[in-house]
Structure 1
Amino acid sequence: MNRIILFLWLVVITTTTHAQSIYAPLNADYYQLIDRTDVLNQDFSRSLHTSFKPYRAQDIVAAVDSASFLTSSQDQFNNSYLKTDHWEYGAEGETKSKRPFLKKFYQTRADFLHINTKDFKLRVNPILYLSAGRDNNSGSAPFINTRGALIRGSIDNKIGFYSSIEESQAVFPSYVQDYIGERGVVPNEAFWKKFGDHGVDFFTARGYFTFNASKHIMMQFGYDKNFVGNGYRSLLLSDFSAPSTFLKIQTKIWRIQYTNLYTELVADAPFSSFGSNGTDEFPKKFLTAHHLSVNVTDNFNIGIFEAIIFNRGDSTGTALEWNYMNPIIFYRSIEQYTGSPDNAFFGMDWKWNITKGLQFYGQALLDELVVGELKAGNGWWGNKFSIQAGGKYYNAFGVSNLDLQVEYNVSRPFTYSHESIFTNYAHYRQPLAHPLGSNFKEAIFIARYQPINKLYLTGKFIASQYGTDPLDQNIGSDILKNYNSRTQEYGNSLGQGVSNDQLFADLTASYMIKHNFFIDLRHIYRKRDSADPSLTSITNFTSLAIRVNVAARDLGY
């Protein structure tokens, strides 16, 4: 009934919509090019509100069109690449192919097939990800075999639509196989099946509709991911977990962007060694969140984030709490009004473009805090918070198209956990924020260099220290556990439990052969030293891949 009411409400809304825009899929390498434009422009009056992703394609084109820093051929190439990728919001003629295939296909450089009329726009593209490699620890040679299709377009210039469908089989590096075996999930994915002795088989489908209720209010309804923040990680809401069904209302006016997010999540996903349980209905829960982004000055932005995880009804969790549908109320007051049964979070994020090419950013999330206990310094379990601080340096040290990023993340034990699977900050057995869950500290360094137009070199180095649970104990690292089963009330400290020191390095060279057609050469080194000798491991993984219209899979966890 709730879904029917929502659908009817959306139908009514669409009768008065204005020009729409789809969103650019989340892709860290792709968004790096967009965020580079934002920082180098150094003018928030023309820039995106970058703390809530994904970005609207129409806004990306507007930001790129306003770019005034195109001093290198690489920047001019990237500018043309982004506009070609979203030609329907600019000029189609600028992207026409000189030699279409069979006169029907690839009439534009960006599309296998497209239709462009006054009332109907359609773009159809293949998705392909073929990767083969070698891992010193894996029993089978790692590979990725993904095939699919991507469809996007608009109707009457009012309704936008997007859909991507991918069928994949893969053998991941050994440490990812270990993650799957321990958690029963494929990172970033939902339902999966066993493939061979060491592989997995999974089907990924995403899709949504977009429409505008007014000139300044945009709406999106579908099944996909969202991300809050300006860093490589997000401690508020990340894209690490599986996609989910959501309704997003985004209001952008003056210096303000206000986002409401209503999401249905999977509270638990029973599994066996053969994969997900495909016969029983998975229990549900809900996330409601809002994020206020304000450009305080022309170079300083601050955001305020609030979220509630809740469940109403029976074990399947199919009932909404309608009080949380209020788009402008302070959720904590409602949560207390209903008896305080839910999990509430409050967070902030910020970015400061200090000078042209230099940005500081950060986040802070508060799960629970008692000032008296914090001052006492006694390690009370309930002081739960996460903090991020980072910086980006574009054209570093005067080297054109050399971009550096540093980031530090820390999360206290028991942060994001709660009394049950229906209120913890997880979806499909995966954290909604940081991949490590909680009880960790992490330093990240990323270097990106584009020496020539089509070649992208990336180095990621991640050093992390974290604690895991000893046998039959709960010391606050696994956010899926009930925090009432905690081992101790006081004396808790960061990294407690079984100590782990981990170093991760990812070196990638990507060359764009044609538009969105990449060839990748990649090497990953991952060393984990653990107080539990059985968990100590060293991974050396090298791979060669071709990608068409799909992002490289992030394996940095």
Structure 2
Amino acid sequence: MNKFILLLALIVSATHSSAQSIYAPLNADYYHLIDRTDVLNKAFSESVHTSYKPYRAIDVVATIDSSNFLTSKQDQFNAQFIKTDHWEYWGEDSAQSKKPFLKKIYRSKADFLHVNTKDFKLRVNPILYLSAGRDTNSKSTPYMNTRGAQIRGSIDDKVGFYSTIEETQAVFPKYVQDYTADRGVVPNEAFWKKYKENGVDFFTARGYFTFNATKHIGFQFGFDKNFVGNGYRSLLLSDFSAPSTFLKIQTKVWRIQYTNLFTEMVADAPFSSFGSNGTKQFPKKFLTSHHLSINITDNFNVGIFEAIIFNRGDSTGSAFEWNYLNPIIFYRSIEQFTGSPDNALFGMDWKWNIAKGVQFYGQGLLDEMVISELKAGNSWWGNKFSVQLGSKYYNAFGVNNLDLQLEYNVSRPFTYSHESIFTNYAHYRQPLAHPLGANFNEIVFIGRYQPIPKLFLSGKFIWSQYGTDPANENYGGDVLKDYNTRTLEYGNEIGQGVSNDQLYIDLTASYMLKHNLFIDVKHIYRNRDSADPLLSSTTNFSSIAIRLNVAARDHSF
């Protein structure tokens, strides 16, 4: 695999390339501002296919620049904020500071230090995330202390690069601590160590480089996350789990965007489960996927997704299945050709900008399906699928910058699970799709309001009903478990096992003090009512945070 990537990089870099672009980092609040443009335009942007994230920064700037209809003070502020954030694709003059410190520091409003020459661009910024709070369900005091740096730039305007390095010590709210104790992982992160009595210590390093083979074909190779869909959740591929090493080929021409993703993942992390230093290599597996996005009309888009999880190896290591390098052929045919040992998934997504400010969207995923069993109506365990339906309403009821979103997600028991850790749809002991795994119903309502340019208010209300497993049983909610250990062959219903009803509320006010410097005030209410009294809990968590050049941490599960 390494030889293949090196050979591919050499071949492509030797060709005449067009201008490259880095990607706007995944950040739900930031991407909300970008997606407003898409929906308020009614017709799609020619630059961005919103169903595959992250977006190229150069496309984001082109989209914002074409949005002459954004007339409110808040929208004009947001547009300038995004352009300043990506001034290398817009113009350095637009981001210049009036009073740089010592004539070198913050010459740009967006950068601590930067270099801008014809052949080389470099931007360096500090990362800081300090928070403290109170959790009524915990004896310890939650806090987070993150320090780091962000580096981005380009060489010869043909090769782009991006990297973030962060060091974090944190004591999370009790329900997050419980997740770590149960799964052996910190949500969204990879390797970690224990920190004092109830805390965790983890180091996060992400990075990649980009280049374009032609005007329409771009490559990205690195260690980061991807997200498929237009919803708050993704039932196809989300950014919930840890980052991973990947090669992405994205082709965009006419009304089509075609994305190939080749990814190396961690099948299990037994040493990390104890928060100690691992001295052995973690077992590996691979994910490859295709996503085809087509603008059928000017306001209706359909996407087709397929993915396969596999491993070719023995007790001494893992190997890549070369047949899956084909960037066009359907993976199901290859899986059958090789003896059908792998986990193949097929999905679709769509969005319809039905009116100015209104969008409907959805997803569907099939893991396995036998029509005869489905017609029998006996709830056979192997009929596995997930469905998402959602809508967005921007400038709701005629109120500028009041945006509403409603979303429904459902997943059948045993969806995403498979026969082993090497073929289940998980990475680093975390689901690759929805945080709850499978066997759930969920309703998400999100309200966002920006009353003045620098103040952002949001409320998330998430109700979920899901099933967990009693000891030594498997009712299909945990994607890490071998589905051959299932408790029921027939009669499987959503929410089976130990029933749980959960309400999660997140109320947040964020104020931008300076460019990308925010102060956040947050309150989280989480009530879990379980048939097992030991699992029932109520959390009231209030916190205040200051963050610089980093997204707000989201633990909405």
| Class of the TM-score when normalised by the shorter of the 2 chains | over 0.9
Q: Does residue 3 of the first structure (1) align with residue 6 of the second (2)?
A: no
Per the alignment, residue 218 of structure 1 pairs with 218
**Cα distance between partner residues in 2 of 1:309 and 1:303:** 20
Amino acid paired to 2:271: F
Counterparts of residues 13-412 of structure 1 (less than 5 Å): 13-16=12-15, 17-44=17-44, 46-271=46-271, 274-315=274-315, 317-412=317-412
Q: Deviations over 1:152-209 (max 9, x none)?
A: 0000000000000000000000000000000000000000000011000000000000
- How much does 1:371 deviate? 1.2
**Cα distance between partner residues in 2 of 1:333 and 1:424:** 19
Amino acid paired to 1:311: N
Amino acid paired to 2:257: Q
**Cα distance between partner residues in 2 of 1:132 and 1:57:** 33
Superposition RMSD on alpha carbons, in Å? 0.9
CA contact 1:161–1:210 (8 Å) conserved in 2 = yes
CA contact 2:193–2:272 (8 Å) conserved in 1 = no
Q: Which secondary structure does the structure 2 equivalent of 1:313 belong to?
A: strand
Per the alignment, residue 522 of structure 1 pairs with 522
**Cα distance between partner residues in 2 of 1:116 and 1:410:** 49
Q: TM-score, normalised by structure 1?
A: 0.99
Amino acid paired to 1:204: T
1:416/1:277 CA distance change after superposition, 3 Å? farther
1:333/1:536 CA distance change after superposition, 3 Å? same
CA contact 1:258–1:290 (8 Å) conserved in 2 = yes
**5+ residue gaps, structure 1:** none
Amino acid paired to 1:262: F
Q: Deviations over 1:78-101 (max 9, x none)?
A: 000000000000111011000001
1:38/1:47 CA distance change after superposition, 3 Å? farther
Over 3 Å off, 4+ runs: 271-274
Per the alignment, residue 421 of structure 1 pairs with 421
Q: Which secondary structure does the structure 2 equivalent of 1:179 belong to?
A: helix
1:276/1:386 CA distance change after superposition, 3 Å? farther
Q: Which secondary structure does the structure 1 equivalent of 2:214 belong to?
A: coil
Q: Deviations over 1:438-488 (max 9, x none)?
A: 000000000000000000001000000000011110110111000001111
**Cα distance between partner residues in 2 of 1:33 and 1:360:** 17
**Cα distance between partner residues in 2 of 1:411 and 1:23:** 31
1:519/1:45 CA distance change after superposition, 3 Å? closer
Decide which moves more: 27-36 or 37-46. Answer: 37-46
CA contact 1:305–1:346 (8 Å) conserved in 2 = yes
**Cα distance between partner residues in 2 of 1:361 and 1:317:** 41
**5+ residue gaps, structure 2:** none
**Cα distance between partner residues in 2 of 1:167 and 1:483:** 37
CA contact 1:270–1:277 (8 Å) conserved in 2 = no
Tell me the matched-pair count: 556
Q: Which secondary structure does the structure 2 equivalent of 1:481 belong to?
A: coil
- How much does 1:46 deviate? 2.7
Q: Which secondary structure does the structure 2 equivalent of 1:5 belong to?
A: helix
**Cα distance between partner residues in 1 of 2:10 and 2:316:** 27
Amino acid paired to 1:363: Q
Identity %: 77
- How much does 1:316 deviate? 5.5
Q: Which secondary structure does the structure 2 equivalent of 1:282 belong to?
A: coil
CA contact 2:193–2:277 (8 Å) conserved in 1 = no
**Cα distance between partner residues in 2 of 1:321 and 1:444:** 38
CA contact 1:194–1:201 (8 Å) conserved in 2 = yes
Q: Deviations over 1:393-422 (max 9, x none)?
A: 000000000000000000000000000000
- How much does 1:15 deviate? 1.9
Counterparts of residues 359-508 of structure 1 (less than 5 Å): 359-508=359-508
Q: Does residue 510 of the first structure (1) align with residue 510 of the second (2)?
A: yes
Q: Which secondary structure does the structure 1 equivalent of 2:313 belong to?
A: coil
Q: Which secondary structure does the structure 2 equivalent of 1:58 belong to?
A: helix
CA contact 1:127–1:548 (8 Å) conserved in 2 = yes
Q: Which secondary structure does the structure 1 equivalent of 2:303 belong to?
A: strand
CA contact 1:346–1:367 (8 Å) conserved in 2 = yes
Amino acid paired to 2:62: A
- How much does 1:140 deviate? 1.0
Q: Deviations over 1:50-86 (max 9, x none)?
A: 0000000000000001112212000000000000000
